Amino acid sequence: MAKRKLKKNNTCHSYSVASVKPKSQKEMAQTEKSANFALAAVALVVAVCVAPLAAEISSSDIHHHKHLSLKMDEAQLTVNNELSYEVQVSWMSQRCYQCLYQQLGVVPAGLEPGQPSSVNFVVSTQHEITLQINSTPIELELCKIPFHFGEHGNYSLWVKTLNASFGVNCSVVTDKDPVNSYIPILVAFLIYALLALVFAIGKKVWGLDAVRGLVLRLGSSMETERLINSELGPTRVVPPVTDNILPPPLTSSKRLRSLDTFRGISLVIMVFVNYGGGRYWFFRHESWNGLTVADLVFPWFVFIMGTSIALSINALLRAGATRCSLLRKAVWRSLQLFIIGVLVINPNYCQGALAWENLRIPGVLQRLAWSYLVVACLDLLVARGQLDVLTVDAWWSPAIDFLLYWPAWLCVILLEVLWLFLTFQLPVPDCPAGYLGPGGIGDMGLYVNCTGGAAGFIDRLLLGEKHMYQNPSSRVIYATRIPYDPEGVLGSINSILMAFLGLQAGKIILHYRERPKSIMSRFLIWGLLLGVVSAFLTKCSTDQGFIPVNKNLWSLSYVTTLACFAFVLLMLIYYIVDVNKWWSGAPFYYPGMNSILVYVGHEVFEDYFPFCWQMSNSQSHAEHLIQNLVATSCWVIISYLLYKKKIFWKI
């Protein structure tokens, strides 16, 4: 095609030359000189522009250099091999316990001495990883390098032969500095802290008598002027100013703000992490053993639900309600929660319209319903309508929480014995007894299809794989292959324990209602005891304890650890909000008063504006963080407006 075009152009040009008048020899020489100069200039421009491109293409063909498109939490690693044989590059996350190395790729042998071959790879930046360099085809380990790569950074791994020996030297060099992906979190924290400071200062200023008097005088004068200027203005009796400023009288059934504040804190964090948490790894659930921020909130919600059960049942019994009527109410409420969880909030909607073939049966609200029903029944078994303030002087007072409600404690202990027996003694096909691992590439790949051990086996047996959660967090690091449900059947036993510990917190509040110091000290004692139990079960380690802390399993140590945190945090909030009244609990108090509405609403309207919109760069932590914070703040504002209108959704 190019040759034909060139020939055609020459032909046209010859036609053009034949049609003009012949020039003198001098003019022709000058014209030829100008043409040669122009041709040389064009050739120079082409050489300058094309030569680097050709060199880049050649380098890409020989050395495999190419620019890789990096996504969120990714970096580029260029492996330069100067050895005379090809090497295989593998990797393993430091968060992956006893895992197989995953192949990253093969780098060809060096072209010649001093001229390495290079291959570009994309590596994860969420956690520190260990790179392993092996020779091929003989699997001989040459070196291992632990390194934590930074997001969008460019790095080079040089594999060289040592001069003095036949050993191999591996080193990582930073070619381009990574971006600091945590700056958006710092900026967001400073903005919210500034808003909180402005609100606190404004509240203090508004509390000054001079400021309030000025505002009230201005308001009164404006009202008077309006009435004078209005021909039909009605006469109204304005109540004295003191009537508006006096605090409301205290009642015996006054609601504790600390409970709603604690519930609101758990709910707000839950909404934030469900919306994505800015796509930061610590705002997502841990892949298997361990804790992240996302793993804290659901158990706290269950805990505070148990506390509310104790207070509400006691109040209803004192009001004259019968235990049978309260039991019917508990069953009906649990049934409503279960139905909403199955039919309204179901992750399988992502696969299309719901059908029985792929309907996920377990879930968050389903677990809340089950825990609520069992703990409410236990409390109705032992609850008292009239409670005396307990003394702390008797010798048996340290065990008073256990002794007063020993039948309920006995039931919970039997449930825990059942959990321990099923977890460690139930035979699971092709899996070792008592297996608590993730399967997949964990445990050196020996138990690929044993994810969750007995917990996963019971769910697959009772529910079927299609009725379970299809994308468990264990797939992220451990590359598991089978479905696993973190809200499964076996874990529900320990969620009952979590709610029952919250029930005990409620009993402490009821029995020591006139002694705030006793309430706080009992909370601290319970937190200390549960912390000691957690330390024993986990051996103060992530993976090497008897029972590791694991949200997917809702392990016993997970419950004791989170209950320890809950008792301490509730004590602090109770001291700040209800005892000293240093903080009103706002803004968390408002969503805590409308928890079911906020939770269901944030799930149903997840994909609608203003909770979600099209982002210009979906691979930016900052844009995701802004969207998730705006969505969460919208639900806080909605709950505040509903609170002002006295609209509460109760089930």
Q: Which residues pair with 120 in a beta bridge?
A: 78
User: Which residue bears the tokens 């060289």?
Assistant: 160
Q: Which residues pair with 550 in a beta bridge?
A: 289
- Annotated active-site residue in 13, 64, 152, 285: 285
Contact of 565 with 573, CB cutoff 8 Å: no
511 counts as catalytic: no
d(CA 74, CA 154): 10
Tokens of 591: 């969503």
Distances (CA, A) of 558 to 183, 291, 332, 487, 535: 31, 9, 30, 14, 11
| Helix boundaries (H) for 290-405 | 297-318, 323-339, 364-382, 400-403
d(CA 276, CA 620): 12
How many residues are listed for the chain in this entry?
A: 651
Enclosing H/E stretch for 15: helix 2-19
Contact of 443 with 437, CB cutoff 8 Å: yes
Tokens of 450: 């044993």
d(CA 297, CA 517): 26
User: Which residue bears the tokens 């590791």?
Assistant: 548
Tokens of 438: 């993730």
Write out the E strands in 436-514.
none
Centre a 10 Å sphere on the Cβ of residue 304 and count the other Cβ atoms it contains.
28
3-state DSSP call for residue 651? coil
d(CA 38, CA 44): 10
Active site positions, annotated: 285
